[in-house]
């Protein structure tokens, strides 16, 4: 199925190789957002924490100095890029909300460069090469959906994409497009393993299960312990990949998202009609009650 073309929004994703300095990364973002705009993009998404190299690879208290308030110098710079190129833009910042309250925050800007919404990353990973719990508190902003140049956009960040509840919560809040600014690559403690195909499948599943467009936007290149595998893409509500970057590509990639396809998918597969939220109580419990659900006969868990 395809939409009828009456509600098309052109979406751009930017895959970057990050340099040592914030100034160089802002210049690259400016250039590539301009490339996306020249291809007609109305909404553009940058990778997670795009203005810096991926600093959470090691626990180093000196790196706390990268955090700044929102609004602050970085959000003003990103807003300036959005205004310069006349596009709605999603960019990420390391947010210093209060001393000791630091967040991994996605910021949505309108085409005039004004902040539309912010979202603080909810799910925070911890492992070799991804020491994020040292740097970020779990987000407290709730699920965020905002109108960006004609498309209701749900904001999420990286590790959130592995949790099926995220896309559903955003879709139930009205999202037609869910964006996942991302920084993901190899696992330093498992050098022969690649999560790339699992990551790609997980993001496509978010699109299918929630009948939304998904933009998963990664970085590329090697930084300290991690080689990032790129592969940024946009998928439609059936999980079909509309455009995709290679592992080493740096550039702007643009595709049309026909929002009519969201409606068509939901009319053909009535997932929202057939949901049974009254049976899902165990999903929200840290230790599910085995008696939850209409037909459960499970024995209690030990302990």
Inter-residue contact 75 to 116 (CB < 8 Å): no
Token reading at 123: 């799910």
pLDDT in tens, 72-97: 999 999 999 999 999 999 999 999 99
Token reading at 179: 């964006």
- Which of 95, 121, 257, 264 is labelled catalytic? 121
DSSP 9: E
pLDDT exceeds 70 at position 292: no
| Tokens 């696992």 sit on residue | 187
**Residue 178: Cβ-neighbour burial (10 angstroms; 0-12, 13-18, 19+):** buried
pLDDT of residue 299: 42
Ramachandran quadrant class, 189 (left: phi over 0; alpha: psi -120 to 50; beta: rest): alpha
Token reading at 42: 């109305």
pLDDT of residue 285: 86
Please provide the distance, in angstroms rounded to a whole number, between the alpha carbons at the two ends of the chain: 50
pLDDT of residue 290: 59
pLDDT exceeds 90 at position 124: yes
DSSP helix/strand/coil, 229: strand
CA quadruple 41, 220, 50, 238: dihedral sign: positive
pLDDT in tens, 159-205: 999 999 999 999 999 999 999 999 999 999 999 999 999 999 999 99
Active site residue 48: yes
* 1 assigned to some structural domain: no
* 280 assigned to some structural domain: yes
Number of folded domains that form the chain: 1
Residues 233 and 216: their CA atoms lie apart, in Å, by: 5
CATH of the domain at 34: 3.60.110.10
* 259 assigned to some structural domain: yes
Which of the four pLDDT bands, split at 50, 70 and 90, describes residue 297? very low
Mean pLDDT estimate for the chain: 94
* 71 assigned to some structural domain: yes
Residues 83 and 75: their CA atoms lie apart, in Å, by: 12
* 299 assigned to some structural domain: no
pLDDT in tens, 16-45: 999 999 999 999 999 999 999 999 999 999
Token reading at 303: 């302990």
Mean pLDDT of 116-132: 98
Domain assignment of residue 211, given as a range = 8-284
* 295 assigned to some structural domain: no
Q: Is the peptide bond before 71 cis (omega within 30 degrees of 0)?
A: yes
pLDDT in tens, 217-250: 999 999 999 999 999 999 999 999 999 999 999 9
Inter-residue contact 29 to 137 (CB < 8 Å): no
pLDDT in tens, 266-280: 999 999 999 999 999
- Which of 95, 131, 158, 203 is labelled catalytic? 158
pTM for this prediction: 0.93
DSSP string, 54-70: -GGGS--GGGGGG-B-S
* 293 assigned to some structural domain: no
DSSP string, 262-292: HHHHHHHS-TTTS--GGG-GGGG-SS--TT-
Report strand pairing: 144-148 vs 241-244.
unpaired
pLDDT in tens, 133-158: 999 999 999 999 999 999 999 999 99
DSSP 298: P
- Sheet of 241-244, strand order: 144-148, 151-155, 177-181, 213-217, 233-235, 241-244
């Amino acid at each position: 199925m395809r939409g009828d073309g009456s509600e098309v929004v052109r979406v751009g994703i930017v895959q970057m190789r990050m340099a040592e300095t914030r100034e160089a990364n802002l210049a690259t973002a400016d250039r590539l957002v301009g490339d996306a705009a020249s291809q007609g993009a109305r909404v553009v998404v940058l990778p997670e924490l795009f203005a810096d190299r991926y600093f959470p690879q090691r626990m180093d208290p000196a790196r706390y100095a990268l955090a700044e308030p929102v609004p602050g110098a970085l959000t003003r710079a990103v807003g300036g890029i959005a205004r310069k190129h006349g596009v709605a833009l999603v960019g990420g910042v390391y947010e210093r909300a209060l001393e000791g309250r630091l967040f991994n925050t996605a910021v949505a800007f309108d085409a005039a460069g004004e902040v539309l919404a912010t979202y603080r990353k909810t799910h925070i990973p911890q492992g070799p090469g991804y020491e994020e719990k040292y740097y970020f508190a779990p987000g407290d902003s709730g699920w965020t959906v905002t109108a960006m140049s004609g498309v209701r956009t749900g904001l999420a960040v990286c590790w959130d994409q592995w949790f099926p509840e995220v896309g559903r919560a955003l879709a139930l809040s009205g999202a037609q497009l869910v964006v996942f600014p991302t920084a993901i690559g190899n696992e330093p403690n498992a050098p022969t393993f690649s999560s790339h195909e699992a990551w790609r499948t997980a993001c496509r599943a978010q699109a299918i299960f929630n009948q939304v467009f998904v933009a998963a936007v990664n970085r590329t290149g090697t930084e300290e312990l991690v080689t990032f595998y790129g592969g940024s893409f946009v998928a439609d509500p059936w999980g079909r990949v509309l455009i995709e970057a290679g592992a080493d590509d740096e550039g702007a990639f643009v595709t049309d998202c026909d929002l009519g396809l969201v409606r068509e998918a939901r009319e053909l597969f009535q997932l929202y009609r057939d949901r049974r939220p009254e049976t899902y109580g165990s999903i929200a419990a840290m230790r599910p009650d085995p008696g939850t659900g209409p037909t459960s006969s499970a024995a209690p868990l030990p302990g």
